[in-house]
Amino acid sequence: MNTFGKTLVAGALVFTVSMTGSATYAAGDAPHAPEHHWSFSGLFGTYDRAALRRGFEVYKGACAGCHGLRLVAYRNLMDIGFSEDEVKAIAAEVEVPAEPNDDGEIEDRPALPSDRFVSPFPNDNAARAANGGALPPDLSLIIKARLDGANYVHGVLTGYKDAPAGKKIPEGMNYNAYFAGNLIAMPPPLSDEGVDYSDKTKATVAQQAEDVVTFLSWAAEPELEERKRMGVKVILFLLLLTGLLYVVKRRIWADVH
């Protein structure tokens, strides 16, 4: 490759790196949450099935009271190892408006696996009214909707610390090391033994945080495992094809050189 080539490639790399490092995201002045090792990171990462199940239990026990998961359907839980009967039972715990009956009245019916997770509040205003004016965001996409989402949410969940001396904490707010502005309306959602894990894992805050982030990552990117599996195959195929094309190219060009 000539100088033009080398420099342009180098430039492109610098550009790509600087772009990601430099893009300003709405992270406020909170420090970046520390890197955590996730079962689903890396080229071959998959969601830890046991963590997903425990994570659902944490979501249900600690988050679902205020945070919805409206883009995920109950049936999707079958993709991560819940049986059909379990899913039916989980769905039936809540009621949703049914189709109009023969008299044209709309009654409530138990939710079905085909329904999406029923949000805890009927609308944003009701959610704010019940939470001192703060809006608990829907968690379906929270991992994708934050920069470095898995580490960020993990950081916030484990970031409840004593405020530094002199920092004023207004009524109804809590100090959090990783939330933008360090003030968060959500009280610490996790506590040791705050959830009873069905697999008897010891429910420390760290364990719950890791499990629920794994679950929420799946909720945001349910296609991740299939995507990575397919990606490995596609790239191997393309490398082979490209290699063959290179050989063909050499042969065809042989008489020009």
Partner 1 sequence: MAQFQKPAWLDNGLVRWVDHRLPIFTFMSHELYEYPTPRNLNYWWNFGSLAGIVLVIMIVTGITLAMHYTPHTALAFDSVERIMRDVNYGWLIRYIHMNGASMFFIVVYIHMFRGLYFGSYKAPREILWILGVVILLLMMATAFMGYVLPWGQMSFWGATVITNLFSAIPLVGDWIVTLLWGGFAVDNPTLARFFSLHYLMPFVLVGVIVLHIWALHVHGSNNPIGIDTKGEQDVIPFHPYYTVKDMFGLGVFLVFFAYFIFFAPNYLGHPDNYIEANSLSTPAHIVPEWYFLPFYAILRAVPANFVGEWVTAWMGFVLIEAKLAGVLAMFGSIAVLFVLPWLDRSPVRSSRFRPMYKWFFWIFLIVCIVLGYVGAKPAEGIYIVIGRVATVWYFAHFLAIIPLLAKFEKTKELPKSISEPVLGGGGGAASGAASKPMEKA
Binding residues for partner 1, rule: CB under 8 A, are: 1-5, 7-8, 11-12, 14-15, 18-20, 22-26, 28, 43, 71-72, 76, 137, 140-141, 144-147, 149, 220, 222-223, 227-228, 230-232, 234-235, 238-239, 241-242, 245-246, 248-249, 252-253, 255-257
The smaller minimum CB distance to partner 1, of residues 192 and 246, is found at: 246
d(CA 4, CA 1): 8
Instruction: Quickly count: other Cβ atoms within 10 Å of residue 175's Cβ.
Output: 17
Tokens representing 21? 């490092």
The smaller minimum CB distance to partner 1, of residues 26 and 165, is found at: 26
Name beta bridge partners: 15: none
d(CA 159, CA 176): 5
Element (H, E) at 220: helix 205-220
d(CA 102, CA 115): 22
| Minimum CB distance to partner 1, residue 87 (Å) | 16
| Minimum CB distance to partner 1, residue 28 (Å) | 7
| Minimum CB distance to partner 1, residue 207 (Å) | 26
The smaller minimum CB distance to partner 1, of residues 41 and 204, is found at: 41
Q: Which residues of 68-105 are buried (b: 16+ CB within 10 A; e: fewer)?
A: bbeebbbbbbeebebeeeebbebbeebeeeeeeeeeee
| Minimum CB distance to partner 1, residue 156 (Å) | 14
**3-class DSSP state of 24:** coil
Sign of the Cα torsion 192, 68, 223, 217 reads: negative
The smaller minimum CB distance to partner 1, of residues 193 and 235, is found at: 235
| Minimum CB distance to partner 1, residue 178 (Å) | 15
d(CA 165, CA 96): 48
| Minimum CB distance to partner 1, residue 8 (Å) | 7
The smaller minimum CB distance to partner 1, of residues 61 and 120, is found at: 120
| Minimum CB distance to partner 1, residue 228 (Å) | 6
The smaller minimum CB distance to partner 1, of residues 161 and 229, is found at: 229
The smaller minimum CB distance to partner 1, of residues 62 and 72, is found at: 72
Tokens representing 192? 């040791």
